[in-house]
Chain A
Amino acid sequence: MSNDRYTRPQPIIVSIILALMLAIAPIPTWAEPFRPDWVTLTLIYWTMNLPRNYGIGWAWIIGLILDVAQGTLLGQHALALSLVIYLTVTFHLQMRQFPPLQLSVTVCALLGLYQFILFWINGVAGVNTPAVTYWGPVLIGSLLWPLMTFLFGGVRYRAQNRR
């Protein structure tokens, strides 16, 4: 596999910044429950393919930025993201071998876990929100996953070949 080749960091950093911008971009109120977890999806992709360069520390710091950007408790997104990325690093070799459908299901499970942790911390902290609203991002996110692998596949190919 070409995964172990040197990859320029700029495209990856740009993609993470873009994901952060999509996460805070203003959208109509009715669409809010369906906003996918852009940052989580992007980080899962890069961690799965380049686990040496982009791991758990990055995920934690980006999680903190998300916490501040979305006004949640400090550490909430950081904890959820670092758990998801920990699992992704642990199973990255298996995940690379999965057929596309199975990989989408795995990503769906990871996104579900991510939302569950957010929900759980909200519950403990006393921020009451109905559980139904947490399903939108999970479903939309796993539907978007094939598109993202296609897009980022191109980005990765260029980042690794143009040195």
Chain B
Amino acid sequence: MAPAKADRQHRSPYSPALGLRFLLLAGLSILLLVTDHGNNHLDAVRKTIGATVYPLRVVVDAPVSLWRWIGDTTSSRNELQLENSRLNAERLLTQARLQRYAALEAENTRLRAMLEATASVRDRVRVAKIMSVSSNPFRHVLVVDKGTRDGVFDGQALIDADGVVGQIIEAGVLSSQGILISDPDHALPVEVNRNGLRTIAVGTGEFDRLVLPFLPNNADIREGDLLVTSGLGGAFPAGYPVAIVDSVVRIPQEPFAAVSAQPSAALNQVREIMLIWSVVNERSDEVAEQESPEAVATEKSADE
């Protein structure tokens, strides 16, 4: 131990070949950057390093969790009773709605069966806690506390109680990273609920605004229209609310209308989100529709 210590103290900071070491590391960084850009060949590396960061995240999150726990345990009886009655009322309402939903679901399945298409109405959902949100204001990335151990996969959709939040971009073992729909790099296939008009909603870097840049001036869209996921592209299951159109500006000289929408989900306020597992994969659904009825029948039986 002693000789090593002495050696370390008499070592010059400039040797061995500081400049060379720097060039080597810089070259290695650039190699990593090029390899990492646009594909996920380095997923294994990311996951390994991510596992070392996980304990740090848990510690950083601890004060917030503690604060919430204290708030939960010390809330007064009165408050609890109020909340209880509110929740009861809410439950009654949702149950009433659910009764209609059950009938609609049955009708939908029947109609789809008539059209010989596979039914994909029911999705499996699991609640996850958000551990941290990206520190970069123009990259809306969050970390959730579920990983591949819980069945999370890359590209999985994230929703909250009001609508679509984002999707998983990198599923680690214990925690995963997700991208929000408001990230400037994120685009989401949507349709107008009123008339089925399909388009793409792109993030802007602001939590309360999405834009729809690919709508021609004569498109049938107005303020107040609800946008839902179209299910095209396969990443998101169809039919979840995404945003409500809040401004439509048509400039006659321009080829496209300037349409912006406000996300239904409270993107910068959520603490808990839900991960969705579609029971029937949307992509296989689309493929099945193009194939012959026999193929559909076999796929159906395989699913059951």
Contact = CB atoms under 8 A, between A and B. Distances in A.
Whether chains A and B associate is: yes
B114 interface: no
Interface in B26-73: 26, 28-33, 35-37, 42, 45-46, 49-50, 52-53, 56-57, 59-61, 64
Given A24-B57, A68-B46, A83-B22, A75 B29 contact: yes
Interface string A64-96: 110111111111101100110010011010000
Contacts of A60: 25, 28-29
A56 B18 contact: yes
A51 B13 contact: yes
Interface residues of A, number: 49
A52 B60 contact: no
A125 interface: yes
A68 B135 contact: no
Taking residues whose C-beta sits less than 8 angstroms from the other chain, chain B's interface range is 35 or more
Contacts, number: 138
Interface of A: 4, 6, 17, 20-21, 23-27, 29, 32-33, 35, 51-53, 55-57, 60, 63-65, 67-76, 78-79, 82-83, 86, 89-90, 92, 121, 125, 127-130, 133
B152 to A, nearest CB: 16
A27 B137 CA distance: 11
B253 to A, nearest CB: 25
Contact of B33 (A52, A55, A76, A133): A76
B101 interface: no
Contacts of B8: 52-53
Main secondary structure of the interface of B (DSSP, over half): helix
Interface of B: 5, 8-9, 11-14, 18-19, 21-22, 25-26, 28-33, 35-37, 42, 45-46, 49-50, 52-53, 56-57, 59-61, 64, 132-139, 141, 169-170, 177, 184-185, 205, 207, 268
A83 to B, nearest CB: 7
A29 B30 contact: no
Contacts of B19: 86
Main secondary structure of the interface of A (DSSP, over half): helix
Contact of A78 (B29, B132, B137, B184): B29
